[in-house]
Amino acid sequence: MSDMDNTTEPKDVGVVKRTWKGRSLGFWVLEAIRAFARFYMAYIWISAGSAKLNQHLSVTQTIEGYEIFTPEWSSALAHLIGPLEIAGGVFLLLGLFLKPAAWVSTTVLVLFIIGVGSAWARGLMIDCGCFTIDISESDQAMNYLRTILRDVFYIFLSVWIARRPFRRLAIYP
């Protein structure tokens, strides 16, 4: 056996692999998407919930506008929805129970889409009540299709978090 047979040349000579800290560029791109999904959805839930705090009457009227719940249920939901949205956002922000929090987020968004779709199908002219509870801030009624597509995007991000959570900076993933 000659020395030529015992060489250990790399098989992919001429191929440059871009790495950082021993990880491929693709890994870091996926990490960036995971981080974006987690922190953006945390922002969405916290801002949506914050808009509803101390606005019980307006939130109740918005929920009643969907004509799905009785006034009693609408009032109870108005008390709960803001703090629950904030709690979900904080769970995502801090990295507490990431997968369950993401699945709850997905479920809530599906329910929101059902409610918006139901109102649209029945021809109701309502305000979604998602990030603002005062319809007088805009002169137009809600754009149902845009609202549903936005929520579908949020579902995509939530499922991404549930399937591939960004665990860095997480307290209890």
- Break the chain into its structural domains and give their ranges: 22-163
pTM of the model as a whole:
0.83
Helices 71-94 and 56-65 pack at an angle, to 10 degrees, of 110
Please state the rounded mean pLDDT for residues 36-47.
Answer: 98
For the chain, give percent helix, strand, coil, nearest 5: 65, 5, 30
State both tokens at 40: 């953006």
pLDDT digits (tens, 9 = 90+) for 101-147: 999 999 999 999 999 999 999 999 998 888 876 555 555 678 999 99
pLDDT digits (tens, 9 = 90+) for 8-25: 555 555 555 667 677 888
| Size of the chain in residues | 173
